[in-house]
Structures are given as C-alpha cells and as structure tokens.
Amino acid sequence: MRRLGLLLLAAGLAGFLFATAQKNRHAAAAPEAGTAENAVVYRWETTRWLLVGMGVIGLVFTVLPGKRRA
C-alpha cells in the first residue's frame, strides 16, 4: 500500500501543478473570451480538485498503511 500511496501522491502533485498552469493560462484569456473559454477554466479547476483528492488518498496510503496479517 505504501508504494501505491507514493505513486498516487506523486501523480496527484504533478497533475495538480500541471492543471494549475493550464488553468492560469486559460484564465488569463478569460476576461475577453466567451463561455467556451470559461468552461475550459472550470474544467481545469475541477481537475485540480480531483488531483488534490488523489494526492490526499496517496498521503493516507503512505502514512497509514494497512496492517499485514501473519
């Protein structure tokens, strides 16, 4: 579980940073853009939160691994 946790944590963090960059790139054009561009910004914001959740699950799997049965 610890390996899976580290993998989820790393993927969540990397994905969060990528999604943040994409959201900021699209948000910079949002004031003069239409609703399609606003929808893209909203999708990247949703993706960021999903990736934060994935990172938190990875942290839980890393810090609190299950007990092994003998």
Condensed to tens digits (0 to 9), the pLDDT of residues 9-56 reads: 999 999 999 999 998 888 787 667 677 777 888 898 999 999 999 999
HEC sequence for the chain: CHHHHHHHHHHHHHHHHHHHHHHHHHHHHHHHCCHHHHHHHHHHHHHHHHHHHHHHHHHHHHHCCCCCCC
Q: How far is CA 4 from CA 13, 15, 16, 48, 55, in A?
A: 14, 16, 18, 20, 11
Task: State the amino acid at position 67 in one-letter form.
Answer: K
* Within a domain: 69: no
- Total domain count for the chain? 1
* pTM > 0.85: no
**Which range marks the domain in which residue 11 is found?**
2-63
* 55 domain residue, yes or no: yes
